[in-house]
C-alpha cells in the first residue's frame, strides 16, 4: 500500500498543479485520518485553495493524486459527493433565491435527510423572516452562515472548509467552532483552512 492506508479519509500524494507555465502547488503529500480536525495553513499564494479545488475535483492535477475515502477523486467523485460537505472560499450565490430555497435545493443533491438543518438555523439565529428573504438582501455574515449550514446539514463524513469564519462575528465563530468540535466527537473529519483561528 505504501503511502496510502485503508482507513485514511484524505490521502494526497505528490500533488502538483500548473496553470500554464505558472506553478500553483508542487509535490504536496498529506494524510488525514478519521475524526481529525486538520488545519491547513500557509502564507497567501501558497496554493491552499488550489489544493482544496483539486480535492473537490473542480480542477485536475498536473501530476499526483487525491484520494478521499481511499477512492481517487478524479474517477469516483460522483460516488464520494454525498459524503462531503463543503464551504467554498469564493462563491457567488444566486441572489434571487430565498435562504430556505437555497438550503433545500442544496439538500436535494445529497438525497439525504437534512439532519442538522433546523438546529443549525436556530444556532446561527437565522429567523423565519430571514430565510424568506432573497439572498441578495443578506449581509456577508448571513451568507456565510447559510454556506456553513448547507455544508453541515446533511451530516457529512468529511467537511472541507475554505476560511469558513470569514465574515462571521465572534459569536458566530464560536458557534461554528463548537459544531466542528461536535462533529469531530462523532468521528467526522474536518479539513479546515482558516487563517483567523486555530481550533
Domains of the chain: 10-193 (3.40.50.300)
pLDDT value for 43: 73
The single residue listed with the C-alpha cell 442544496 is 106
Q: Each residue of 70-95: pLDDT tens digit?
A: 999 999 988 898 899 999 887 778 89
pLDDT grade, residue 44 (50/70/90)?
Answer: confident
How many Å apart are CA 129 and CA 71, to the nearest integer?
42
Q: Does 129 score more than 80 pLDDT?
A: yes
Q: Does 4 score more than 50 pLDDT?
A: no
pLDDT value for 5: 43
Q: Does 185 score more than 90 pLDDT?
A: yes
pLDDT value for 156: 96
> Is the four-CA dihedral 124, 128, 132, 133 of positive or negative sign?
negative
Q: Does 96 score more than 80 pLDDT?
A: yes
pLDDT value for 24: 92
Contact assessment for residue 17 and residue 50, using Cβ atoms and an 8 Å cutoff: yes
pLDDT value for 195: 58
Output the pTM of the full model.
0.89
Q: What is the average pLDDT value for the chain, to the nearest integer? A: 90
pLDDT grade, residue 7 (50/70/90)?
Answer: low
pLDDT value for 9: 95
Q: Does 46 score more than 90 pLDDT?
A: no
pLDDT value for 93: 84
Average pLDDT value for residue range 140-167: 95
CA dihedral 109, 112, 115, 119 (to 10 degrees): 20
Contact assessment for residue 64 and residue 16, using Cβ atoms and an 8 Å cutoff: yes
Amino acid at each position: 500500500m505504501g503511502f496510502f492506508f485503508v482507513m485514511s479519509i484524505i490521502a494526497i500524494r505528490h500533488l502538483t498543479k500548473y496553470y500554464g507555465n505558472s506553478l500553483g502547488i508542487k509535490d504536496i503529500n498529506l494524510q488525514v485520518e478519521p475524526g481529525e480536525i486538520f488545519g491547513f495553513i500557509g502564507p497567501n499564494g501558497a496554493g491552499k485553495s488550489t489544493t482544496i479545488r483539486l480535492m473537490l475535483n473542480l480542477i485536475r492535477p498536473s501530476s499526483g493524486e487525491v484520494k478521499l475515502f481511499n477512492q481517487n477523486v478524479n474517477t469516483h467523485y460522483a460516488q464520494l459527493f454525498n459524503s462531503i460537505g463543503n464551504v467554498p472560499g469564493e462563491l457567488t450565490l444566486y441572489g434571487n433565491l430565498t435562504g430556505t430555497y437555497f438550503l433545500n435545493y442544496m439538500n436535494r443533491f445529497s438525497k439525504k435527510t437534512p439532519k442538522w438543518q433546523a438546529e443549525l438555523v436556530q444556532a446561527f439565529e437565522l429567523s423565519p423572516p430571514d430565510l424568506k428573504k432573497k439572498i441578495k438582501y443578506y449581509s456577508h455574515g448571513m451568507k456565510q452562515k447559510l454556506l456553513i449550514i448547507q455544508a453541515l446539514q446533511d451530516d457529512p463524513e468529511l467537511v472541507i472548509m475554505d476560511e469558513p469564519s470569514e465574515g462571521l462575528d465572534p459569536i458566530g465563530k464560536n458557534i461554528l467552532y463548537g459544531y466542528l468540535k461536535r462533529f469531530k466527537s462523532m468521528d467526522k473529519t474536518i479539513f479546515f483552512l482558516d487563517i483567523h483561528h486555530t481550533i
